[in-house]
Amino acid sequence: MAEVIRPTNFDAINILEKTELSADVAAAQKVANVLNAQGIVTNNFYVIGPLSAELSELAQLDTKTSNALTAVANYANTHKMGDAVTKLFGDKINIYRATNVDGSTPDDADFSLIGTIDIEVDQSYTEYTDATGGSGYWYKKTFYNSSNLSETTLVDSVAVRGGGYGNYATWEEVREEAGLTSNRYIPDSVYQEKLLSAQGEVNASLKIGGYTLPLTSVPHLIKNATILIAAGYVLLKEYGPENSGTNKEGNQKLTEGRKLLAKIEGGGSTLVDSQGGNIGRSSRLGGYPDDTAADKSPSEGNIFRITDKF
């Protein structure tokens, strides 16, 4: 089956230098004046404009005179004084794939290159379609520089299993819930790690609630709880619990997510599948034969009580 992969473009490892425009840049010209061009040299790739913004574009440096950058090709769009200029390690992303064997992450040596894509700098990720992918594979990425042929290492990439296997949400959704979409200094591995932690907590609640795992589909209630809890974990890790009253209040998101889980455990919220049908769950044991029944007398048969000692 086809697998659509969305590797992120602006991990910390792909950002080498930052400055900003010291003057407006008109479309159809090659020169951009910046506050500090130190570290940007001939053939380097850089983004002119805010990362992931609609009119931002990728450029390659031809020559530099003081703080004036002359690109290889004309800029397609107008850019304003103060707009960001960001030097990248690579202008492309290499996609690697390894076969799933036992559910554990494969060694880096087992990954093989299956494709190379141009980074789309006007969004936070670039899509790649693996026509024969799915949950039977794991994926990693590297950043690749097509000018000097340098490449980041697989060690710096977090492996992700295809097919959304075992996932109730995406790490991009966690980042958005945490209000950190524009924060490029928190690596995607943090979001992925906390998403896995949140999913473990959700699965524990589902088992207590009598649901059979894995679920055949992901109900909205489960997705929302997972995203809230994962975002809470991220915010507590990055900012601590003291930022009350702001979007960085991790404890509040944890509380909201766990309230949803409590309703699931207690049966107060019904889980429905993608077709609107109820997701069944097994009955749970209470007292004998129910919580209100009186104890049986010895003449009624062999019984034991929780207070009995053997």
Q: What is the pLDDT of residue 189?
A: 74
**pTM, two decimal places:** 0.66
149-171 pLDDT tens trace: 999 999 999 888 888 777 888 88
Q: What is the mean predicted confidence (pLDDT) over 102-108? A: 92
User: Domains of the chain: which residue ranges?
Assistant: 12-88, 91-164, 168-310
Q: What is the mean predicted confidence (pLDDT) over 179-185? A: 79
Least confident of 49-53, 89-93, 238-242: 238-242
Q: What is the mean predicted confidence (pLDDT) over 61-77? A: 97
As assigned by CATH, the class of the 12-88 domain is mainly beta
Q: Is the pLDDT of residue 223 over 60?
A: yes
Q: Is the pLDDT of residue 246 over 60?
A: no
d(CA 33, CA 65): 10
